[in-house]
Every structure is written in structure tokens, then in C-alpha cells.
């Protein structure tokens, strides 16, 4: 019985000594952000950096100039033949074809059936001719056709 308390005390002292020893460990600052701001006036020299180092291909698609097509663009979702634009602010999700022609607003902003407040994620499924939208306030995925009409029975 006397050896048990000695083992417990020895184990405690051993753990205390091991835990308190300091080694040559280097401290590293880990930054949470990956965004860096740079004052352009501080740049003293330029280097050439080919765009091909960053992307395989680049296509510029001018969007149609209709008033209903304008919004602050957030995230762009691309399928083979469509561009879905998740807007910032009080705008509806916009659908364009691959030539930049405005097709329609998809659904509407609001809190009623088939409406959304903010788009969290979307997916365009051309094979099924559907647009799926996940809203921050919805408890299910909202389904629309490629004309922007809410499909209540498919939610």
C-alpha cells in the first residue's frame, strides 16, 4: 500500500519536470488572413509576370446592358452554357447565357415561399434544367427552372 502513493508522487514529479523543460522551439506567427493591402505608391520597380502562370484560359464576356440585369456582383457560378450571378445587397440572383445575354431574375428576395434573403450557394444543372439555391434563411434547397420560376414541388 505504501508503494502506490510513491508511484503517484513520482509520476506527478516526472510529468512536472518534463512539462517545464524548455527546448529550442522556434515561435512562428500564424496569420489568419490571406489578404494583403499594398500602397501602390510604395512600389519602386516592376516585374513581368505572365498571366499564363495563373490561369489556363481566360474569356471576357461582356454582359447585356439591361437595367434589370444590373446588380453588385458577388459570386459567379459557371456551367457549360450559363452564368449565375449571386448578388450583393438587395438584388435577385441573375441568370445570363454564355454570351452575356440576360435571361432572367431567378426567384425573388423575401421571406415567402420560394423567396430568399441572401444566397449562400447555388448550382446550375443543365441536364435537369434546374437551378438550386441555398439561402441563409431557408431550411431547404430552393429549386427553380431555367426561366427563374420557383418549383415548389421539387424542394
- pLDDT score for 127: 95
What is the enclosing helix (H) or strand (E) of 17? helix 3-20
Three-state DSSP at 49 gives: coil
Residue 107: Cβ within 10 Å count: 21
Which domains does the chain show, CATH number per domain?
57-154 (2.40.10.360)
Burial of 8 (0-12, 13-18, 19+ CB in 10 A): exposed
Residue-level pLDDT, tens digit, the chain, 155 residues: 555 666 666 666 666 566 555 555 555 554 454 455 567 777 778 878 787 887 788 788 888 877 766 767 778 888 999 999 887 777 889 999 999 999 999 998 888 888 888 888 899 999 999 999 988 777 789 999 999 999 987 76
Amino acid at each position: 500500500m505504501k508503494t502506490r502513493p510513491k508511484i503517484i508522487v513520482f509520476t506527478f514529479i516526472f510529468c512536472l519536470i518534463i512539462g517545464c523543460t524548455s527546448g529550442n522551439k522556434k515561435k512562428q506567427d500564424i496569420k489568419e488572413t490571406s489578404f494583403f493591402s499594398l500602397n501602390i505608391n510604395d512600389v519602386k520597380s516592376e516585374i513581368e509576370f505572365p498571366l499564363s502562370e495563373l490561369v489556363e484560359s481566360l474569356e471576357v464576356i461582356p454582359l447585356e446592358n439591361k437595367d434589370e440585369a444590373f446588380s453588385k456582383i458577388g459570386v459567379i457560378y459557371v456551367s457549360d452554357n450559363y452564368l449565375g450571378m449571386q448578388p450583393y445587397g438587395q438584388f435577385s440572383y441573375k441568370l445570363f447565357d454564355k454570351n452575356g445575354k440576360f435571361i432572367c431574375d431567378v426567384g425573388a428576395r423575401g421571406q415567402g415561399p420560394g423567396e430568399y434573403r441572401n444566397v449562400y450557394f447555388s448550382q446550375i444543372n443543365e441536364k435537369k434544367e434546374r437551378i438550386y439555391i441555398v439561402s441563409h434563411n431557408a431550411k431547404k434547397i430552393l429549386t427553380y427552372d431555367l426561366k427563374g420560376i420557383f418549383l415548389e414541388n421539387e424542394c
